[in-house]
Amino acid sequence: KAGVTQTPRYLIKTRGQQVTLSCSPISGHRSVSWYQQTPGQGLQFLFEYFSETQRNKGNFPGRFSGRQFSNSRSEMNVSTLELGDSALYLCASSRETQGARSYNEQFFGPGTRLTVL
């Protein structure tokens, strides 16, 4: 079974630009979560989508947004990029079903390395 895939793997942007990152979850997984990983902060939760609805949201400004499509693929968008947005953005998928006991075993993709100049 193929793992979580993320595109692109590397991205260089300049301040003020916007960027869209893509994530394809493992087949059958309906939940997709996004995390920002930086050396000092570790992994910070951005948001989670389930059945095309945002189910959880972390403490990031409104410049960070996302969406999920009917095939569970997800995108995240960052508008008006700042230098501090440089990070590894990780996507994770899990099989959990709505209403089931929380079983948040997440499978991570390789990430997209975003550099903002």
Partner 1 sequence: AQSVSQHNHHVILSEAASLELGCNYSYGGTVNLFWYVQYPGQHLQLLLKYFSGDPLVKGIKGFEAEFIKSKFSFNLRKPSVQWSDTAEYFCAVNANFGNEKLTFGTGTRLTIIP
Residues at the interface with partner 1 (CB under 8 A): 3-4, 31, 33, 35, 40-45, 48, 50, 55-56, 58, 90, 92, 96, 98, 101-111
Beta-strand relationship, 10-13 and 112-116: parallel
Of 59 and 70, CB closest to partner 1 = 59
Nearest approach in angstroms of CB 69 to partner 1 is: 19
Nearest approach in angstroms of CB 81 to partner 1 is: 24
